[in-house]
């Protein structure tokens, strides 16, 4: 679905700017929640893809319940902070923000990239921001949560744990998700991405590798371009989308 946000250009450019050239000594986090993750106790394990045979899976399962996961991805390091909750109200969201901000020195600027979900804009969130003037929220344009890099990490979690998992209880689901996060931290790397002006075959390309841009572009230069944006992890497929400025 195309974004109908009248401020799409400004919001997208601001977020890209935080990825490419964040304020000096500031911390940037991509935050979102994955809600209603089902603890499915499947009768049969999936049979993996093999030469001459498609992947097979059964359709019988018992549903034990659901939980929600809050995650904050550091786009510079690729590291993830995660917290599971039974619900995903504004109260849980603010509690998670406090946990994320607590990982940084009290005087450090903290920039949080997130979507427009209603629980992100409540009076409770406004009170939190008043108590933490060093924290600034940056909302993605409507229907453009793909600009938030934590969505790529959620895709990895879905494919690596949830899709093929067998969970004997909600507690078992929680344990396996948190174990995945702990193991992920040991080899965490930033997502590699790049964008270019597709109108010019040999135009300037700005690439993010290991959390550092190889070349930088000011927000003024970003504006006025039609950008081709790629998100990828080493050795994997690319997620591609066009940005129209």
**Listed residue (65, 110, 67) closest to 92, CA to CA:** 67
Give pLDDT, residue 228: 46
**Distance set, CA 45 to CA 151, 180, 185 (Å):** 26, 19, 27
Q: What is the pLDDT of residues 109-138, one digit of tens each?
A: 999 999 999 999 999 999 999 999 999 999
Query: DSSP per residue over 36-94, as a string?
Result: EEEEEEESSPPBPPBTTB--B----EEEEEEEEEEEEE-TTT--EEEEEES--SHHHHH
Q: What is the pLDDT along the chain (245 residues), one digit of tens a residue?
A: 577 888 888 899 999 999 988 999 999 999 999 999 999 998 877 777 789 888 777 788 899 999 999 999 999 999 999 999 998 899 999 999 999 999 999 999 999 999 999 999 999 999 999 999 999 999 999 888 889 999 999 999 999 999 989 999 999 999 999 999 999 999 999 988 665 555 655 544 444 444 444 333 444 444 443 344 444 554 343 344 434 33
User: In this structure, what DSSP letter does residue 189 have?
Assistant: -
For 218, residues 6+ apart whose C-beta sits below 8 A from its C-beta are 21
**Listed residue (34, 42, 85, 47) closest to 63, CA to CA:** 42
Per DSSP bridges, beta strands 110-114 and 212-213 are: unpaired
Give pLDDT, residue 57: 75
Residue 162 contacts residue 40 (beta carbons within 8 Å) = no
Class of domain 8-43+61-188: alpha beta
Give pLDDT, residue 197: 57
Give pLDDT, residue 199: 63
Give the CA diameter of the chain: 60
- Report the alpha-carbon distance of residue 55 to residue 70 in Å, rounded: 30
């Amino acid at each position: 679905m195309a974004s109908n946000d009248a401020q799409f250009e400004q919001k997208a450019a601001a977020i890209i700017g935080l990825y490419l050239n964040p304020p000096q000594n500031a911390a940037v986090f991509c935050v979102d929640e994955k809600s209603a993750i089902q603890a499915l106790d499947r009768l049969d394990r999936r049979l993996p893809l093999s030469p001459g045979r498609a992947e097979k899976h059964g359709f019988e399962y018992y549903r034990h319940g659901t939980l929600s996961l809050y995650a904050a991805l550091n786009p510079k390091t690729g590291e993830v902070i995660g917290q599971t909750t039974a619900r995903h109200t504004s109260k849980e969201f603010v509690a998670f923000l406090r946990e994320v901000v607590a990982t940084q020195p009290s005087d450090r600027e903290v920039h949080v990239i997130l979507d427009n979900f209603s629980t992100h804009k409540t009076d409770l969130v406004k009170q939190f921001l008043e108590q933490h003037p060093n924290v600034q929220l940056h909302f993605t344009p409507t229907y453009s949560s793909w600009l938030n890099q934590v969505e790529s990490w959620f895709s990895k979690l879905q494919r690596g744990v949830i899709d093929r998992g067998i969970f004997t209880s909600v507690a078992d689901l929680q344990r396996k998700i948190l174990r995945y996060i702990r193991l992920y931290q040991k080899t965490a790397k930033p997502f590699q991405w790049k964008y270019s002006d597709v109108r010019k075959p040999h135009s300037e390309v700005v690439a993010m590798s290991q959390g550092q841009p190889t070349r930088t572009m000011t927000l003024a230069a970003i504006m006025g371009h039609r950008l081709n944006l790629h998100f990828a992890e080493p050795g994997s497929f690319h997620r591609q989308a066009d940005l129209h400025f």
